[in-house]
Amino acid sequence: DGIEAGDEFYFVHSYYVHAVDRGLVAGSVQYGVNADAALARDNLFAVQFHPEKSADAGLQLIKNFVDWRP
């Protein structure tokens, strides 16, 4: 909620994943390669980037984590 396509997030790692179960993918990134950046299942949500270092979009994502009711 409140995060637009094209908002930027801070990545520091050089590795990336491609989920076998595509139904788990909640967000992806295109930066030289296509990679899965966020996965969700039941009451778990994981991201490969650093929301706490991602300015306004990151703060919104943290707020969404707090407010999330799966």
> Which tens digit of pLDDT belongs to each residue from 3-54?
998 899 998 878 888 999 999 999 999 888 899 999 999 988 899 999 999 9
CA-to-CA dists, residue 34 to 15, 19, 45, 60, angstroms: 12, 12, 20, 23
pLDDT at 68: 83
pLDDT at 37: 92
pLDDT at 32: 87
pLDDT at 53: 92
Stretch 52-69: mean pLDDT, rounded?
Answer: 92
pLDDT at 14: 80
Structural contact between residues 61 and 38, judged by C-beta atoms closer than 8 angstroms: no
Local structure of residue 5 (DSSP, 8 states):
T
